[in-house]
Structure 1
């Protein structure tokens, strides 16, 4: 039996067009620790750390791939697009193709690293191979190294599938080696078998066949040009009748080039602000983002009105950590497919204390509203013919309402404890957010150690001044901290 992509995985797979790349990943910064010489009678139970170099990194990843089997599989499309694509083992899997070395001109600073990451994330993945890459980046200042991971969104299912960066890290300084696995790729199904199987499935479930016409691939998808026009018109009508996001350049994404930047502030300082105002650290994070967006909008449009808002989509676990625990007993730093809600950031408010109070109040209100809860992007008509009409209507609406928010924000429900890579502590950790179509900016926030690590990904054609947002983070934090 073939392992077919889920409707949502297939949607993300086919979203990759000339101006859209549905990649995400992580950036890990490590300062390799040098081992001191030991005597012959040293405790043999504490072997020296292996060097954090390319060879050892490849060995580590090879050992951990058994935890993420999709990272050794390729996507194979079905003839004529009669069904969703399938996962098959890559019989020519070459780990050295996926793990690469890269260097910065010494001493590489944050701007050099951000530029390299932007170029890497702008490039589409090779669809003839498993859809991921990893980079060992050398040449950073102070002898630091960086690990950048890049994974296609369809590799990560909504039921807790880990990203490769989460798999290679350990919770303690001892690098855990899994039992050796002898991996043998399975025989791929022939084209005829896939075609016949897809045809039989389409006849037994005609809803899927309709979905491939509307949202599918292959030759049949030529029909979706006309269908798409009708869908867009219907979507425009729905948006006029619903509470859609404010019109903003943040919804003008359309180029294939990216920009990336990072910023970091003290979590302890944010906790003091939260305690002072009786809110949560997540509220302070959103207030910092509000200050960042306020400064950016004022630089973009000095005549911005006091009533201006920016609408964001945030994981529901940011309000109720119990939601995260029910879904994933060991939350990581890459969050996909989790329940989210849409809230407004009062970027028109100049007073930082008032802005924080409004952020907390709106978040508390909208997190309880069924109209504001979202499961994220969904395929249009994925199960037409086999679901009740109300379910069909709600799914269609969520797909049509493409302007429900301006900016996605990925954030965790709790701090991430120290992580180690080949025994070396990860000093900085950033999630590299996915930038989907019709979005010019995506933000991630990771609580790691005593810092809040912000990652910004933008469409270079819309937000060419992204590095300024790193400065805005510090300014927004400072004005909140000064009120305590």
Structure 2
């Protein structure tokens, strides 16, 4: 079966180059006491792949880029290539585990195979084990990745029964058939894209009005951008990565919200702002009262019924790192986020996801690369916050203790900050360029100190 990538999903492929790897991932650690081995791990994942058919598909380019790439079944699918084992050297510290995550995330995925890898990591100091995942951003967005994690995780220590799996790969299409299909698709696309635009802006009289509304929202976001020409968060990056983590209790975030207002997400952004403030000070940066860091905060605009595909908008939020008072910092972020919600900019930008399908694939590729290369001119850092399940999950009978996200770096961005909540905890994963951010652990520790600063105001 051939399925064409959406324009946004294809963008994540086009953005990729030797220094910009567009895969997302995660680090999960599990309590000790359960015997695990690679063969059992491979068998478990193999039994559950029926739930995620995309994991047995690869990307095929269309000749001459007559159309966007397509998903096709991989006739040579090799599960043992994708499911791997690693062991930490003694003593198996958290620092060694983070080093391994950084090294693995610095390696690109093989474009000739399904775009994912998963690692079983043994040798942790306390006798537990870890799982590290890598999945190309073209396959998932932040919200859908929680669903895909269900392939591995169970609600109880007793593994759930596997689904029947009669999968057999469909015949791989020829280059000629891909080209012909792309041409036919393009002939149909203008009418289809217009219909998409009309549905996306059902409250607007005409598609022309929708374009104007969308363009106005995007211009409004960019016109208020004040990004410093040089900033420690923005520099040329290389291929290799470092990884840092921080964790806190969700109840602490809720207590701060209850005392000072806003949402839990506002408190999270305030913690990030405070952490960045402390980290900048350790670098000797002059953090002035009016200083700010521009964060891009992705927002999923995928309809509730849609299960796959990226449908993402973004907010640009000024984090007031120059504000010394943590409560005032929270108040400013709360006001900014409320203004964004009232403006409807995220909804209007979401309409652009449908309209972008009108762009010819070659120009779409160039546009994606251009937007990637210009990212440092528009924002300083990406911050994602994805809520996770507030109950324990298990893998192979072992309880999962924590789950840290890995968010890819855009060109010119030295660190990305991913946050997720799980079972009463809030977990920060910091994916950083190895050379430009040697002190990523200092930044990670600063996040915890920022939360403590807020707790002291209660």
2:304 aligned residue (327, 338, 342)? 327
Where 2:405 maps in the other structure, the secondary structure is strand
Encode CA deviations 1:285-317: one digit per residue, 9 max, x unaligned: 111111111112223343232111112233558
Give the equivalent residue in structure 2 for 1:289. 272
Check 1:87–1:126 CA distance in 2 against 1; reply closer, same or farther (3 A cut).
same
Aligned to 2:446: 472
Q: Give 1:133's aligned residue.
A: 117
Instruction: State the partner residue of 2:227.
Output: 246
C-alpha contact (below 8 Å) 2:56/2:77 kept by paired residues:
yes
Relative to 1, partners in 2 of residues 1:482 and 1:266: Cα closer, same or farther, differing over 3 Å? same
* Cross-structure match for 2:102: 118
Deviation at 1:174, TM superposition (A): 2.3
Equivalent residue in structure 2 for 1:421, among 373, 395, 398: 395
Q: 1:306 to 1:345 in 2, by over 3 A?
A: same
1:314 and 2:289 are equivalent in the alignment: no
Q: Deviations over 1:180-239 (max 9, x none)?
A: 21211110111222223334444565899xxxxxxxxxxxxxxxxxxxxxxxxxxxxx79
- The 1-side partners of 2:152 and 2:188 are apart by 42
- Output the CA distance in 2 between the equivalents of 1:380 and 1:339: 13
Question: How big is the shift at 1:348?
Answer: 0.1
1:86 equivalenced with 2:61 (yes/no): no
User: Which stretches in structure 1 are left out of the alignment for 5+ residues?
Assistant: 35-50, 209-237, 318-322, 386-394
Residues of 2 paired with 1:381 and 1:400: CA distance? Answer: 19
Q: For 1:285-434, what aligned pairs fall within 5 Å after superposition?
A: 285-315=268-298, 327=304, 337-371=311-345, 374-375=349-350, 382-384=357-359, 402=375, 403-413=377-387, 416-434=390-408
Aligned to 2:43: 59
Tell me the residue number matched to 2:33: 33
Q: CA deviation at 1:260?
A: 0.8
C-alpha distance in 2 between matches for 1:383 and 1:313: 25
Moved more, 153-162 or 453-462: 153-162
Distance 2:253 2:165 in 1: 45
- Map 1:264-283 to 2 at 5 A: 264-283=247-266
Q: Is the 8 A contact 2:4 2:68 kept in 1?
A: yes
1:321-370 deviations in whole A, cap 9, x for unaligned? xx89x63799xxx9964444222211001112222222222222223223
Task: Give the aligned length.
Answer: 421
Which residue of 1 is the match for residue 202 of structure 2?
A: none
Q: What TM-score do you get using the length of structure 1 for normalisation?
A: 0.78
1:175 positional shift: 1.0
Aligned partners of 1:432 and 1:469: how far apart in 2?
A: 15
Bigger drift between 277-286 and 68-77 goes to 277-286
Could you tell me how far apart the structure 1 residues matched to 2:83 and 2:390 are? Answer: 25
Q: Deviations over 1:262-289 (max 9, x none)?
A: 1111222222222221333222211111
Q: Structure 2 CA distance, aligned partners of 1:398 and 1:77?
A: 21
- Decide whether the 8 Å contact of 2:7 with 2:357 is kept in 1: yes
Asked if residue 481 in structure 1 is aligned to residue 455 in structure 2, the reply is yes
For residue 389 of structure 1, what is the aligned residue in structure 2?
none
411, 416, 421: which one pairs with 1:442? Answer: 416
Q: Measure how far apart 1:434 and its partner are.
A: 2.2
Q: Distance in 2 between matches of 1:184 and 1:437?
A: 39
State the partner residue of 1:169: 153
Q: Distance in 2 between matches of 1:159 and 1:358?
A: 27
Shift of 1:168: 1.1
Mapped partners of 1:420, 1:376: distance in 2: 38
- When the two chains are superposed, the root-mean-square deviation of aligned CA atoms in Å is 3.4
CA gap of 1:30–1:329, structure 2 versus 1, over 3 A, is farther
C-alpha distance in structure 2 between counterparts of 1:436 and 1:399, whole Å: 6
- Deviation of the 1:377 alpha carbon: 9.9
Change (3 A) 1:204 1:369: closer
Partners of 1:466 and 1:260 in 2: CA distance: 7
Once the 2 structures are TM-superposed, how far is the Cα of residue 123 of structure 1 from its aligned partner? 0.5
C-alpha change, 1:139 and 1:155, in structure 2 (3 Å) is same
Deviates more, 1:93-102 or 1:24-33: 24-33
Query: SS where residue 476 of structure 1 aligns?
Result: helix
Distance across 2 between alignment mates of 1:266 and 1:240 = 33
Greater mean alpha carbon deviation, residues 455-464 or residues 101-110: 455-464
Distance in 2 (alpha carbons) for counterparts of 1:113 and 1:463: 18
Decide which structure has the larger Cα Rg and report it. Answer: 1
**Structure 1 residue matching 2:357: 3-state secondary structure:** coil
Structure 2: runs of 5+ lacking an equivalent: 193-218, 361-367
Look up the SS of the partner of 2:251 in the other structure. Answer: helix
